[in-house]
Structure 1
Amino acid sequence: MSPSKLPIVVAIPTKNEAENIARTVRSVIDHFEAVVVVDSDSTDETCKIAAEEGAEVVPYTWDGGYPKKKQWCLDHVHPQIPWLLFLDGDETPSPELLAELRHCFSRPLKVAAFDIPLGYWFAGRRLRHGYTIVKRALLDRTRCHFPVLGDLDAPGMGEQEGHYQPIAEHVWRLKSPIEHEDLDPVRTWFDRHNRYSDWEAWLEHHPEVKEEIRQAKTRQGQLFHKAPFKPLVSFAYAYLYKRGFLDGRAGFDYALAMSFYRWQIGLKAREGEPSEAGRPGVTVARVTIR
């Protein structure tokens, strides 16, 4: 192990990230012991660009079951290095985070995982206020795992684990962010969240799986999981309570987009409810109009 590099392997799950991947690999290649792009049959130049920037490229094909992609990374990507940092193909560690990690790893660690806030970019602008996303992105693989849930029939997620955290007993939250800056057009955000809302709506009709996922969320996520009127609560929380309005138009657009996402989930869930005719014990009169 190089004395100048953090004893961490960076795993970057990708599929068609040619627009972003060079910047992501460059941000970590000189700071971490290993950098591995785990690619799911990209049809663009993601793999070529990543390799040119010095990353190891590993192909991944999902078999339709568990483990899904991130747990597969924990099981197979440089397993001799206990600590693994997940980065999306459009994410980079901030200089402050690199310094904080060096401080943490300069002494023995008792925690099993680190929660890291995201410095979120939306429509080309860095948001300084509003809703803060926190990812359990840095894991000691010997003491962490992603839960196995009954959601394989759910639409929307596929090979990726859903919106829940890996399981770890001792977790510490870091102060410095991962910068999440997607260079793709904003329509790709809506494309992704349209798929995600399919998964979330499916959960509304499978309460046993929904409860399993609730338990694998952060405390904040668990509270919001039970909140009524989620579109309105989401907007009021991000734009007013968390002062998203200080980010100007971008803050309004993001708060509104997240509110719309919550509305999509509710609408799709209601659309998927069984009709009166299909409910047990309900008889529907048939009326013929002459």
Structure 2
Amino acid sequence: MEQYFSFIILTYNEEIHLPRLLNSINGLNAPIYVLDSGSTDKTVEIAQKFDAEVKINPFINHPKQWEFALNNFKINTPWTIGLDADQIISPELFELLKNFDPLLYQDVDGIYFNRKNFFRGKWIRFGGMYPKYLLKMFKTGVGYSDINENMDHRFITPGKKIIWKKGHILEENLKENEIRFWIDKHNKYSDLVAIEEVERLQNIRSQTNNRNLFGSPDERMAFLKSIWWKLPLGWRPFFYFFYRMILQLGILDGKTGIMFHFLQGFWFRTIVDIKIDEIKRKIVNP
């Protein structure tokens, strides 16, 4: 089988996730590159058992980690796929990749995969969480990491992009089954988001994607974010939680799903707003 694409995977202490992912792509005859942030468990050992090339780089944020990976691994295939360690490839997506013919995509720079997100074993289907299209596959040397983001990571391609609606990335972080891990993780993320928003107010950061409600998934997200940043701090988490729970039918996700929407859609956003206010006060009164 000719090699048309390579996988790049980011890791940090992912011994419970990485075998799951690597087994899901086993058989695609694709080179695998793992960028690790300094794991202290068996992550690197597992990657090497699957013949992955491994590099180590200290973690600052996801966009910069992806930028390092794209600039420091020598990818020889015409296409690159970027995945997180807690994701796996569904059998349907495996077949799409197995039968991938680059001649059919000569005018395409990027391909969106559809993601299913799981929380404590529950597929979060509503609340705007599905379908969720992520640009994960792009022409090597053309796609790049959007470092104008401080926490959310996305790849950018200048040319035509298409969406694969069939097949899925299945994403479930098993470590998040422990609520303390989830809270600690998102508390760190809230620092990054708060700093990013303040820097946008100071015109230090700008959006890379065009804002277009009817454009690509990332252009639509850029449009929605531009509105979000204008909403009043402290109130917007209430608006967003209502939107997800009622207008986007998040209540239909049941007990576990409602817990997820509350934590991710309200608690996290509230902490971000409090930290933004704290940063702004320190700027005014250093």
Instruction: Give the TM-score band, short-chain normalised.
Output: 0.7 to 0.9
Q: CA deviation at 1:102?
A: 4.2
- Check the 8 A contact 1:29/1:55 in 2, yes or no: no
Match of 1:60 among 50, 56, 61: 56
Mapping for residues 1-290 of structure 1, pairs under 5 Å: 2-3=1-2, 7-52=4-49, 54-62=50-58, 68-102=64-98, 104-105=100-101, 107-109=103-105, 110-132=107-129, 133-149=132-148, 162-169=151-158, 170-175=160-165, 176-184=167-175, 185-187=177-179, 188-207=181-200, 208-212=203-207, 218-225=218-225, 226-227=227-228, 228=231, 229-258=235-264, 259-274=266-281, 278=285
Unpaired runs of at least 5, structure 1: 152-156, 280-290
Task: Classify 1:67/1:177 alpha carbon distance in 2 versus 1 (closer, same or farther; 3 Å).
Answer: closer
Name the CA shift for 1:44/1:191 in 2 (closer, same or farther; >3 Å): same
Q: How many Å separate the matches in 2 of 1:7 and 1:233?
A: 45
Q: Aligned in 2, Cα 1:127/1:67: closer, same or farther, shift over 3 Å?
A: closer
Q: 1:103: Cα distance to partner?
A: 5.0
- The verdict on how the C-alpha distance between 1:32 and 1:125 changes in structure 2, with shifts beyond 3 A counting, is farther
Give the direction of change, closer, same or farther, for the CA distance of 1:218–1:199 in structure 2 (3 Å limit): same
Contact 1:7 1:33 in 2 (8 A): yes
Gaps of 5+ in 2: 212-216
2:214 paired residue number: none
More displaced stretch, 203-212 vs 98-107: 98-107
Specify the code of the residue in structure 2 equivalent to 1:144: G
Contact 2:111 2:136 in 1 (8 A): yes
SS in 1 for 2:252: helix
Cα distance in 2 for partners of 1:136, 1:254 equals 24
Shift, 1:236, TM fit? 2.5
Alignment RMSD (CA, Å): 2.8
Output the CA distance in 2 between the equivalents of 1:34 and 1:117: 22
Equivalent residue of 1:178, what SS? strand
Q: Is the 8 A contact 1:10 1:32 kept in 2?
A: no
- TM-score calculated relative to the size of structure 1: 0.80
SS in structure 2 of the partner of residue 254 of structure 1:
helix
Q: Is the 8 A contact 2:126 2:250 kept in 1?
A: yes
Q: Deviations over 1:99-150 (max 9, x none)?
A: 333455364312111122221011221222222243221121222222454x
Q: How many pairs were matched up? A: 265
* 66 and 136 in structure 1: CA distance in 2 versus 1, 3 angstrom threshold: closer
C-alpha contact 1:239 1:245 (8 A) present in aligned 2: yes
Larger radius of gyration: 1
TM-score, with normalisation over the residues of structure 2? 0.81
Task: For 1:275 and 1:76, locate their aligned partners in 2 and report how far apart those are by CA, in whole Å.
Answer: 38
1:44 Cα offset (Å): 0.6
CA distance in 2, matches of 1:8, 1:200: 32
Identity %: 22
Q: 1:65 to 1:252 in 2, by over 3 A?
A: closer
